[in-house]
Amino acid sequence: MSKSAHDYNLTNPEIMENPYEFYAAIHRDNARLVEVPGVGYWVGRMDDIKELAKNTQVYSNSYFDEGGPVPTGVSGEPLEDDVKEIFNKGPEVVNALWTADPPIHTTHRKLVNKAFTASWVKSMEPVIEEIADELISNFINNGKADFMQQYAVYLPMIVIAEALGMDRKDAELFKVWSDDILTGNLDVLDHEGRLRVAQSFIDANNHFKGILEERRINPKSDLISALANASVNGRSLMNKEALPIIDTLMLAGNETTTNLIGNALRILVEDEIIREALEADKSMITPFLDEVMRFDGPVQCLYRIVTKDTEFAGQKILKGTKIMLGWGSAGHDPDHFDNPQDFVLGRSNAYKHIGFGFGAHLCVGLGLARTEARIAVNVFLNRLKNVRFSDDIDLTHVPTFATRGYKTLNFDFNSR
């Protein structure tokens, strides 16, 4: 007898490692609302997710209080005094863009769109290709590499670090900040984890505050200069608004793109037919990545907070309850995708995935993420051949249900 969707505990490490049986059970049982113990409720059907994502008045993205987007974990436990003390040392922040709802979000989105233009993303393509080539050149003579840590991590990390005004040599520090702050936004943290995240958060914001203020006086061609000087109807971003927006761009431009590249490379190496199809026709890389986003997306869920007592799917939900919008399970909804458990190159509607979100909070950096992943795959195919799993391959994922990416990807290969 098959397990009910309600029999799964998404915080169980085994379920986090492979959530797809849980997703299948959601759709089989029409389980529109599933409790995740200690966190909130998971909404996993495509139509329900779209409905809730559009209703920002009740299902708010502003799940931090008026103190702004302070990444303390999602458990809801009170902050310890020593953690508060660290957070108090940082510059003021307010809810902005990611953690604000319309109409405030709308204003921020317009300001960010003036910086994050399609032409800017297009101008970055040669830079992204240069970085991808350089990364592969660093290990191509070895015939072996960890493509997660030596390629998928570094490519988006360097790109977004430079776009936000940091030197390439500081990319490692940037990665630490990004990983810690993302963990603070998406995962359950213990006391030690909160201390670590708090320090990274104030270090990053103090650093970016200095860059912001300098770029207002001496702008450059980077993204942070565009943010610092963007104006809509005479309205510019204040530091307390710009800093959380920069944090959002750092997170969205880093780990999520890393996981998209890693998830794509695993499929390419595992399936020789798909790899050969892409080698023969590079125009298939974009639809291939759409199917990766649907099948094994880098972000499996994001949170909403219920702003008032409400009812959904016949169940009362109290104000303050966390709701997880399951982008990953939406990609496996059989009402929208035939045989969703199968990876199908050329699936006609793969582009209809909602792996980058839906509604007002659709990922502002999706154009850059798609470009980076497309170039990463293209350079990978151009430079390497006969790529296969190393004998020591370990396909374990980082243990979290909010994002989905590999710890390592050890491949052997020959150079072209």
> Which CATH code of 1.10.630.10, 3.40.50.300, 3.40.50.720, 3.20.20.450 fits the domain covering 77-287+359-415?
1.10.630.10
> Does 1-61+300-354 match 77-287+359-415 in CATH topology?
no
pLDDT of residue 385: 95
Query: What pLDDT does residue 59 have?
Result: 95
Across the chain, which has 416 residues, the per-10-residue mean pLDDT values are 88 94 96 93 97 94 72 77 89 83 84 82 94 97 96 91 81 85 80 91 93 92 84 81 86 84 98 96 97 97 94 94 96 98 97 93 88 98 97 93 94 95
Which sequence spans correspond to the domains of the chain?
1-61+300-354, 77-287+359-415
- pLDDT for 397 equals 96
How confident is the model at residue 66, as a pLDDT? 60
Domain covering 1-61+300-354 assigned CATH 3.30.43.20 in the classification:
yes
pLDDT at 1: 60
| HEC readout, the chain | CCCCHHHCCCCCHHHHHCCHHHHHHHHHHCCCCEEECCCEEEECCHHHHHHHHHCCCCEECCCCCCCCCCCCCCCCCCCCHHHHHHHCCCCCCCCCHHHCCCCHHHHHHHHHHHHCCHHHHHHHHHHHHHHHHHHHHHHHHHCEEEHHHHHHCHHHHHHHHHHCCCCHHHHHHHHHHHHHHHHHHHCCCCHHHHHHHHHHHHHHHHHHHHHHHHHHHCCCCCHHHHHHHCEECCEECCHHHHHHHHHHHHHHCCHHHHHHHHHHHHHHHHCHHHHHHHHHCHHHHHHHHHHHHHHCCCECCEEEEECCCEEECCEEECCCCEEEECHHHHCCCCCCCCCCCCCCCCCCCHHHCCCCCCHHHCCCCHHHHHHHHHHHHHHHHHHEEEEEECCCCCCCECCCCCECCECCCEEEEEEC
pLDDT at 185: 76
pLDDT score recorded for residue 57: 93
Q: In the prediction, which pLDDT does 67 show?
A: 63
